[in-house]
Amino acid sequence: MKKKLAVVALGGNALSRGDQAGTIDEQEQNTTETLENLVFLIREGYDLVITHGNGPQVGNILMRNDAGEQVYNIAQMPIDICVADSQGGIGYMIERMFRNVLNKHKIEKNVVCIVTCVLVDTNDPAFNDPQKRIGKIYTREQADELASRKGWIFREEVKNIGGYRRVVPSPVPKDIMNQSIIRDLAVKGNIVIAAGGGGIPVYIDENYDVRPAEAVIDKDLASSLLASLISADEFYILTDVPYIYINYRKPDQQIREFLNYDDALKYLNEGQFAKGSMEPKIKACLNFIERGGRMSVITEAFKLADRKYGSKITMEYEDERR
């Protein structure tokens, strides 16, 4: 059996759902259910690199950060440290849950988590137009109060649960540090967890030193870049919808199960996909195909193993009809 290398991006909401309190028991259960869906890829001979979101989690870390300063006079940490904290915590949880899933299925594999820095450009226009949603959902009144008191920027939540979420800059990832190590570990049969939360945003200064950037990188764009840099065959985005839709949540909503590159790009340019939600996922999938990737898939986190679900994007339709 010819082995394939796949990068699988777990959405933050595949780990912590918006209608939950976000307890560790809930997150561990959600993570386990998601990882169960990856077992069939292992049995089909795939090497795996797992990436993950951190939107709800890093937002909670930032809120604890703020509460610690107000109540106990504990110095606040910058966003890059909070992203690193979320990488370590979520990566540990995924590693532990995956080891337990593998043990259940009698599969012997190493699972390793790599804290990953991702390079960004400080001149990226995203720093002047924050779009990345993080943290919990607030009411309009709560959002207005926090915006007035703390200078935070909020945008309306695009999903059907309503409310408002804080947004921060989300620059385009330019390069992934330790990419060769990630690939080397993966193709030797180890399951690698990397680029969590889009990676820790850093830049190189005039002295070639690594410096932090105050941002949260979109995990789908960073995952797509990582998939391309390590020459992955396939790229999966696991989220909370089973398909790509056009005219989403309108009377004429339609499923698009198979898309070629040109049609997906056309829908993107027509504005079919919401900013900060499905749009970066489509861009990430197209970027992977454009760089030579074989197939991108978007589907619901708990339905990957059921091949009747999921939208597949390839360069041409006939490449991946199953």
Split at pLDDT 50, 70, 90, the class of 309 is: confident
Split at pLDDT 50, 70, 90, the class of 135 is: confident
Beta-strand relationship, 258-260 and 311-314:
parallel
| Average pLDDT of the segment spanning 154-164 | 80
pTM reported for the whole predicted model:
0.89
Residue 281: active-site member:
yes
From residue 16, alpha-carbon distances to 8, 33, 106, 203 in Å are 17, 12, 27, 30
285-298 residue pLDDT tens: 999 999 999 999 99
Q: Count Cβ neighbours within 10 Å for each residue of 231-242 and write b for 16 or more, e otherwise.
A: ebbbbbbbbebb
Of the candidates 11, 13, 65, 260, the residue annotated as catalytic is 13
| Average pLDDT of the segment spanning 264-276 | 92
Give the separation between CA 196 and CA 182, rounded to whole angstroms. Answer: 13
C-beta separation of 77 from 69 below 8 A: no
Of the candidates 11, 37, 219, 276, the residue annotated as catalytic is 219
Split at pLDDT 50, 70, 90, the class of 240 is: confident
Of the candidates 11, 12, 135, 276, the residue annotated as catalytic is 12
DSSP reduced 3-state for 177: coil
When comparing pLDDT for 143 and 152, which is higher? 143
Residue 13: active-site member:
yes
Split at pLDDT 50, 70, 90, the class of 321 is: very low
C-beta separation of 51 from 229 below 8 A: no
First to last CA, the chain: 19
Residue 250: active-site member:
no
Of the candidates 30, 91, 132, 198, the residue annotated as catalytic is 132
CATH code for residues 4-124+172-319? 3.40.1160.10
Domain boundaries, the chain: 4-124+172-319
pLDDT above 50 for 123: yes
Residues in CB range of 102: below 8 A, 6 or more apart: 39, 108, 109, 111
The one-letter amino acid at 226: L
From residue 236, alpha-carbon distances to 58, 207, 221 in Å are 23, 37, 12
DSSP reduced 3-state for 168: strand
C-beta separation of 130 from 55 below 8 A: no
